[in-house]
Structure 1
C-alpha cells in the first residue's frame, strides 16, 4: 500500500508535508496566490473545451499510442494499425464525420489558429460526438501549405502550462476544426531517410561566426561550479532529466523542492546551498 507506514504510524512515519499528514488544502500553495492554482483542488473551466467552442469546432484529445512508445518506433507503424495510408489516424465519431462528408479511410485536414495537419480517418461509434482522437508521437513533415503531412498532433496543441506552479502539459485542452482534404501535396515523407550530402571542400567553422567564441575557450579551461549547483545536478536529478533552473521562477522552485529535497535525502545545509543556486539562476 502506498504510504503504508504512514497509515500504521502517522507520527513516526510523517509525510513530507508541512503538517506531516495528507493535505487536501495546502497553505503553502494558497500563499503563492496563483490565479490558476488554488490551495485546494477544485474544478476550473479549461481555456479551451466544448463549453466555449465554436459550433463547428471539436475537442482534440491526444492520448498515448497503442502500438508504440510516444514517437519511438513511429516509423515502424507506417503500415500498422496506427496508420491510414501512411499517416497517423484520427478517430472520429460517425455522426461528426457524416456532417462533414468524411468517410472511413478519407484524408482529413485538422486545423486551428496554431497549426494544421493531415491524418487518415477512422470512424467509430464509441467516440463522444464533438471529440476526435489523434495519438501523439507521429514524426513531423511539413508540406508546402505548412501542414504536417504525417499527422503530428503537436501542430494543434497549446504550449500553455496547466498552471503557473506545475507548468505541466495541457495538451488535451485543445479545440480544432476538421474537414475532408482534397489537396494533398504528396504521400507522407516523414519516415523516409534524409539525403546525405558529402562536402565538396573542407568545412570552415568561421562561416558560422563561431571562431571567436571557440578561440575564447582556452586549453585547460574549466567551468566554475558552485557547491549548490554540484549538489543539484548530482542529487536532485536522479528521477528525471535535469531541468534548467531558468525554466521556473524561484517561487515555483520553492514549491518543487518541497518534494524534491526529501527524495534526494539532502541535509538542511545542502538544501540551503541548492536554493541559493536556484534563486540566483531562476526565471525572473
Structure 2
C-alpha cells in the first residue's frame, strides 16, 4: 500500500543502464519512493563491461535498499536480444508486470569523438555510438513494453540529453542522432501508449555530476564546486539523484498522462513538483543557460544562488 512517504510502495520498476550516472540516481530515488527496482546493466562485481569502470549493478541495488526500496541486480547487455528476453522472463516470473520502465541505457562513451568532423572520424566508432545509444533502447522497449501495457497506469521514460533538438557545434552527428532519436522515441511513445492507459515521455538531466564527469573535472562530490576553475558553469551542475527525483515524482503523479509525449527536464519538473537536489538546492540549468550561457554573460559575475 502506497503512503505519503513511500508513494511507489508495491510498484515494480525496471531501470536500464543503472550501473552508474543517471541510471543509478534514478534507481535509488525510485527505491526511496518505495519501489522494487530491477537494476540492470553490464558491469557486475564479477564481469566488467567494455567501459571498464568500477561501478557495479550490485552497488546500485544496495543503494536502492539503503534508500528504502528493494534493489534487484540483473546483469543485462541491452545490445543482446537474448539477455533482454531473459530479463523480461525474470521480471514476469517475479512480478508479472512492470509499473515504471526507465530506458537509460547508453554505453556510447568509448566511441564518441567530440569536436572531430564526422568525415574525419572513425566510422566504426560512429556506428558504435548509434548501436549502443539507439539499438539498445529499441530492443529494451520491444521486449519489456508488453509487461507495462498489460494493465493501465504504467509509465515509460526515455532518458536523453537536452530538452530540444537544437544542435551544439562540436557534439557531432552520431551523438546528436542518438539523443534526438531518444527524444523522438519519447514523443512516439506518448502517442502509441495512450490507448493502453500508459504514459510515455522523455526526460533529460541538466549539467550532470556523474561519476565520469566528476573525474573529468578532477573533483569529488564533496569538492565539486572546485570544478568551476575548469568551467564556471559547473556551478549549476546537479547530481544524478536530481533527475531521479524528477522521475520518481512523475511516477507518483496520478495525473502524469498530461505530460504524454513531452520532453521534460529536471529543472522544469523541479518547478512542477518542488523537489530539491541532495544538498537541498534547486539548480535551474535551463534558466541559467538562457540568462547566462546563451547571452554570453561571464558566469563568475552572476549570483549562482539565485539559480539554485
Whichever of the two has the greater Rg, that structure is 1
Which is helix-richer, 1 or 2? 2
Shorter-chain TM-score above 0.5:
no
The TM-score by the shorter chain falls in which range?
A: under 0.3
TM-score by length of 2: 0.22
Q: Normalized against structure 1, the TM-score is what?
A: 0.24
